[in-house]
Amino acid sequence: MAYKKQQTTTHKIKIKSGDLVKVIAGNSKGAQGKVLKVVIDTNRAFVEGANIVKKHTKPSAANPNGGIIEKEAAIHISNLALIDPKSGETTRVGRKLNADGKIVRYAKKSGEEIK
């Protein structure tokens, strides 16, 4: 069975690992957490404590009993909103040049630079 490769876009992903985000759509709506990993190819991210799924595992050397483990699953980037470091509200992300001439991300609501 041949699987069709998922269509990818060339949009600039404005969320990076380590950012504090809020889930704005889906089953985990309202959940806040840190981005653990961003998958650029599929425009998805793993968020700490959001979109928890149960995975059935076979016994292995690391886990001799096997069983059911709970882990985070990927969420589409469009369902995440960055949390403003100044106000704590959700915000959009912009990009601008700083004094050193480097491109930095900033929160559109407060104008605060995102580290």
* Residue 73 token pair: 């699953």
Residues contacting residue 32 through CB under 8 Å, at least 6 positions apart: 20, 21, 22, 23, 49, 83
Phi, psi dihedral angles at 96 (to 5 degrees): -150, 165
What order do you get walking across the sheet with 90-91 strand by strand? 74-76, 44-47, 32-39, 20-23, 80-83, 90-91
Query: Average pLDDT for residues 2-16, to the nearest whole number?
Result: 77
CA-only gyration radius of the chain, Å = 17
Instruction: Answer yes or no: is pLDDT of 3 > 70.
Output: yes
Whole-model pTM above 0.75? yes
Q: How confident is the model at residue 7 (pLDDT cuts 50, 70, 90)?
A: low
Matching residue, tokens 């704005």: 24
Q: Is 53 helix (H, G, I), strand (E, B) or coil?
A: strand
For CA atoms 87, 90, 95, 100, give the dihedral sign: positive
In this prediction, residue 11 has a pLDDT band, given cuts at 50, 70 and 90, of confident
Q: Give the mean pLDDT of 106-114.
A: 93
